[in-house]
Amino acid sequence: MRSLRVNKAVTLHLGAIGVLFALQFVLPDYHHVNLARVMVLAGFAMAYNISFGYTGLLSLGHAMFFAAGLYAAGLMARFAGVGAEGGLILGVIAGLAMAVAVGLLALRTTGVSFMIVTLMFAQAAFLTIFYFGEYTRGDEGFIIPSGLRTLFGFSLVEPATRYLVALSLFALCVAVSHGIARSSVGRVLAAIRENEERTRMLGYNVFLYKLAALAISGAMSGAAGAAYGFLFGYVGATFASIQYSIFPLLWVLMGGAATVLGPFAGTLLMFYLVDISSAYTSANMLIVGLALIGLILFFPKGILGTIRERAAPWLP
C-alpha cells in the first residue's frame, strides 16, 4: 500500500515535469517566457512551502532570502564578472546564510511575533539595499550584462536554454520537496506544525528542526533568486519589498499548503490572473483581491489541498 502511494506520487511529479518539458515545443514565444518565469517563481514558492506549509512557520520576510540570492549573484556578476555557475552557488550560499542568521534570532519567537520579526528583518534588508544605492542602484536596479549570462558555455539569453534551466531548477525543487515530505524529517516537521509542545515532549529538538527547515527554505529561495537574476537579467529592490514576501504566501495558499505541486499551481494561476486581467484594466490587482477572497471562502485548502481532501488522499 505504502509503496503504491509513493509510486503514484513519483509518477505524478515525473509526469508534471514531463508535460512542462513537452510544452516548450508547442508554446508560443510569449507564454514560453512566462512559463519559464513561473517555474523559477514556483521554486521560490516551494521554498516558502517548506517552512510555511510543512513546518507551519508563517514568515512574512521571505523576500529577503530571494533577494539575498538575487543580489549575491547580481552584484558578483556586476563587480567581479562571475558567471551563472558561480552566481547560482553564491545565491544558494547567500540564501542559506541569511536564513540561518535570521532563524537563530527569529525562531526564538513564535506565531505573530515570528511574522513581525521576519517582516522587520526583511524590511531592514530592503532598506539596506537602498542604503548602498551606490552599488545596488536601489529601486532602479541594474542589468546583468548578457555576456555573463552563460551556464557551462550555453547562453541564458537564448529562450530554449533559459526554459531548460528554469525547468531543471523547478525539477530540483520538486525533488527536494518530495524528498522532505516523504522523509522522517518531514514527519517531524509536520508534527511541529500540528503540535509543537507535544513534539518537544517526545524528545525532538524542535528549534533545530525549525532552523533546518528555514535553512533549506532560505537556500532554495536564494537559488530561485540567483536563477531569476541570471535568466531574466534584471536585479532590483522591488524583489526585496514586502510584496515579494506576501506573494509566496499567496501562491502557496492558493495552490495548497503542504502539497508538493501546489505552489506551482498557485504561482501559475496567480501569474496568469494578473496577466489576463491587466489586458482589461489597469486596476488588475482588484481581480487578484477578489480571487483571493473567493478562493479562501470556497477553497480554503487551496487547489491541490481541496483535490487531496475530496478525491486523492495520496497526494503528497
Partner 1 sequence: MDFGPYLLLATLEGAVGAAVLALTALGLALVFGVMRIVNVAHGAFFMLGAIIAWWVADRLGVGSALNFLAALIIAPLAVGAVAVVAERSVLRRLNYNPESTIVATIGLLYVIEQVALMTYGPDARPVVAPWDFRIQLPWFGYSGYKILVIGASIAILLAVWWGLTRTRIGLMMRATQFDSETARAFAIPVDLVYGGVFAFGAMLAAVGAVLVVPIQQAHYLMGTDPLLLSFIVVIVGGLGSLRGTVLAAVIIGLSDGIISVFFTPTLAKIIATLAVATILIVRPRGLFGTRPT
Residue ranges that bind partner 1, judged by CB under 8 A: 58, 105-106, 108-113, 115-117, 119-121, 123-124, 127-128, 130-131, 242, 246, 249-250, 253, 281-286, 288-293, 295-297, 300
Burial 143-177 (b: 16+ CB within 10 A, else e): bbeeebbbbeeeebeeeebbbbbbbebbbebbebb
Q: How far is the CB of 257 from partner 1 (least distance, A)?
A: 9
Q: How far is the CB of 107 from partner 1 (least distance, A)?
A: 9
Residue pair 292/250 in contact by the 8 Å Cβ criterion: yes
**Alpha carbon distance 50, 175 (integer Å):** 12
Nearest residue (CB) to partner 1, 26 versus 297 = 297
How far are the Cα atoms of 183, 188, 213, 278 from residue 210, in angstroms, in the given order? 15, 10, 5, 39
Q: How far is the CB of 214 from partner 1 (least distance, A)?
A: 15
Nearest residue (CB) to partner 1, 55 versus 169 = 55
Q: How far is the CB of 111 from partner 1 (least distance, A)?
A: 4
Nearest residue (CB) to partner 1, 202 versus 293 = 293
Find, among 143, 89, 137, 129, the residue nearest to 240 by Cα.
129
Q: How far is the CB of 283 from partner 1 (least distance, A)?
A: 4
Nearest residue (CB) to partner 1, 184 versus 282 = 282
Nearest residue (CB) to partner 1, 80 versus 104 = 104
Record the cell numbers describing residue 145, joined without a space: 550584462
In the DSSP assignment, the letter for residue 241 is: S
